[in-house]
Amino acid sequence: MLAADVVKTQGLKGKDLLKLADFTTENIEALILLADDMKKNKENYSDALKGQLLGMIFEKHSTRTRVSFEAAMIQLGGHGMFLSSNDMQLGRGETIEDTGKVLSGYLDGIMIRTHSHSRIEALAEAADIPVINGLTDLYHPCQALADLLTVYETKGGFKGLKMVYVGDGNNVAHSLMVGSVMMGMDFTLTAPAGYEASSEMAALAQEISEQTGAKLTFTEDPLEAVKEADFIYTDVWTSMGQEEESEKRLQAFAPYQVNEEMLALANPGCKFMHCLPAHRGEEVSAEVMDGEASVVFQQAENRLHAQKAVLYSVMNK
């Protein structure tokens, strides 16, 4: 069975992707297989979304999300429309629900990068077309799918592997945690007190891990956490909207820098991952970021392929 046919059998057509837990483990595996096939056989999908339109609403700045989604639609034969909230009536007080109803009459899908997760839930409830989460304060599912694709390419599977996230328990950490345990991969999150993953997300991941047999661990000790790691992942210590906390965060996270000493504690062949943008000398040393263990730019490219798989699966008519 072709990867594209696998996805069709999972019933994703017309569905929203607001968080990874909206899909089953089989759905996620099928998307990864499809993304892998799309990356290797780009020409086979050049007309997959011919004539279809994706509206891309941005309420937060972006490089990878905007370029990868727009490129994905072009490569699939469709078109992506950049919609800045500052240039829409959203910026003048139109409700997200009204926006969703209006755009449903013009487009075949919506991708939104926004703040509150409740905002995207309201949009999806009002819209009659698939809504894809390009990032909210709680989740970053498209990033996690690209991460899982990178793991698959690098190791050939998921079972028996250990993913360690070092740093702020943010939206990236939440989706990576959920995605990892969904695929049966052990997951450890190490963060200083006060910066852990939200209790709601931790409980969700724990529930999933009990079903898949993955081991889920939380610790404040980064050096203990990375022992036997197959992947070490980090993100910036200060995300958008947290600039006023920057100095406080730099102090709290100083022991959590991913450097050569930390990498040496992991399994031989351990790979370093980062969702970008990166601040060399803060959350990661330049030696690790630009070293042989880094698969960071492979990850970044895989945003394109993972999102093509999502777009194909939910929008293909």
- What does the alpha-carbon distance between residue 10 and residue 98 come to, in Å, rounded to a whole number? 31
Q: For residue 65, say whether it is annotated as part of any ligand binding site.
A: yes
Q: What pLDDT, on the 0 to 100 scale, is given for residue 92?
A: 79
Supply the pTM of this predicted model. Answer: 0.96
Task: State the catalytic residues.
Answer: 113, 140, 143, 235, 275, 303
Q: Does 255 appear as a known binding residue?
A: no
Q: Give me the pLDDT at residue 240, please.
A: 65
Which domains are seen in the chain, by residue range? 20-140+303-315 (3.40.50.1370), 141-299 (3.40.50.1370)
How far is Cα 16 from Cα 121, in angstroms, rounded to an integer?
A: 10
C-alpha span between 127 and 108 (Å, rounded): 10
Residue 88 burial (CB count, 10 A): 17
64 is in an annotated binding site: yes
Coil, helix or strand at residue 82: strand
Counting every residue written for the chain, the total comes to 317
Which residues lie across from 17 on neighbouring strands? 132
195 Cβ partners below 8 Å, 6+ apart?
Answer: 167, 168, 169, 249, 252, 253
Is 104 marked within a binding site?
Answer: no
Q: Tokens 């899982």: give the residue.
A: 148
Taking 70 as the pLDDT cut, the residues of the chain under it are: 1-4, 8-9, 240-241
* Residue for token pair 């086979």: 44
Q: Identify the pLDDT of residue 89.
A: 87
62 marked as binding residue: yes
What pLDDT, on a 0 to 100 scale, did the predictor assign at position 66? 96
In this predicted structure, what is the pLDDT of residue 1? 46
Please choose, from the candidates 17, 55, 309, the residue with its C-alpha nearest in 3D space to the C-alpha of residue 175: 17
Distances, alpha carbon 213 to alpha carbons 16, 24, 294, in Å: 27, 15, 28
| Number of helices followed by number of strands (H, E) in the chain | 13, 9
d(CA 197, CA 255): 18
On whether the CB atoms of residues 108 and 129 are closer than 8 A, the answer is yes
What does the angle CA 85 – CA 89 – CA 90 come to, to the nearest 5 degrees?
A: 50
Q: Does residue 113 have a known ligand-binding role?
A: yes
Q: Any binding-site annotation on 180? A: no
Name the strands in the sheet holding 271-274, side by side, starting at the edge strand that comes first in the sequence: 216-219, 186-190, 162-166, 231-234, 271-274
What angle, 0 to 180 degrees and rounded to 10, lies between the N-to-C axes of helices 117-126 and 96-104?
40
